[in-house]
A and B are shown apart, each in its own frame.
Chain A
Amino acid sequence: KAGVTQTPRYLIKTRGQQVTLSCSPISGHRSVSWYQQTPGQGLQFLFEYFSETQRNKGNFPGRFSGRQFSNSRSEMNVSTLELGDSALYLCASSLQGASFTYGYTFGSGTRLTVV
């Protein structure tokens, strides 16, 4: 079956712009989480969505936001981009109630470069 699909794979944006990243989870997976990966900070939790509701949020400024649609697809948005937002953004999905036991399945990520 298809894995977690993230689009686009690569993105170059200018400081001050905004960007939207997309994630399609594995069919049947209703929980979607987002992580930011940078060389300096490593992998950090951004937020988690379940049934179109944000259940948990990491320690990121309000410029980072997201949403989940009724088909479980998710988007994250970063407004007023800063150079420090350059990172690999990873989306992960899991079955309801199963992430604690089975973990998450990750997509290949979107590489965002802010210039």
Chain B
Amino acid sequence: GDSVTQMEGPVTLSEEAFLTINCTYTATGYPSLFWYVQYPGEGLQLLLKATKADDKGSNKGFEATYRKETTSFHLEKGSVQVSDSAVYFCALSDRLTGGGNKLTFGTGTQLKVEL
């Protein structure tokens, strides 16, 4: 079945440092890929998405490129802020035989940004 693998956390960075969170996936079809972010005590917020190979998703300074050849969707940001501290989830959406889709999530990577 489908699966998503993320790098283990926590990742601790100083403010203005460069961020990379690795994500690789396994899927039988051609999934869409997403990054969601979860702040303490909250639900998930969609950060960015990509629906086909070589698409680049971007939002709030975060970027990720859909790499079909390496089955990867790594999240990057050039300069992190304390307010970026949260848990980041990589996910894929694949169509189901019953119609509709479901999201398959990675385990999440906690990011802590310090002054």
List the interface of chain A (C-beta within 8 A of B): 4, 6, 31, 33, 35, 42-43, 45, 48, 50, 55-56, 58, 90, 92, 99-109
Chain A, interface SS category: strand
Partner of A102, one of B49, B99, B103, B104: B49
Report chain A residues within 8 Å CB of B108.
Answer: 42-43
List the interface of chain B (C-beta within 8 A of A): 32, 34, 36, 41-46, 49, 51, 89, 93, 95-96, 98-108
Docked pose: A105 CA to B47 CA in angstroms: 11
The answer on a CB contact under 8 Å between B93 and A50 is: no
Report chain A residues within 8 Å CB of B100.
Answer: 31, 48, 50, 55-56, 99
- Minimum CB–CB distance from A111 to chain B (whole Å) comes to 8
Partner of B96, one of A55, A103, A109: A55
Report chain B residues within 8 Å CB of A4.
Answer: 43
The answer on a CB contact under 8 Å between A50 and B99 is: yes
The answer on a CB contact under 8 Å between B95 and A100 is: yes
Q: A90-B44, A103-B34, A107-B43 are in contact. Are A56 and B51 (CB under 8 A)?
A: no
Docked pose: A75 CA to B38 CA in angstroms: 23
The answer on a CB contact under 8 Å between B32 and A109 is: no
The answer on a CB contact under 8 Å between A100 and B43 is: no
Q: Identify the closest chain B residue to A35 (Cβ).
A: B103
- Minimum CB–CB distance from B95 to chain A (whole Å) comes to 6
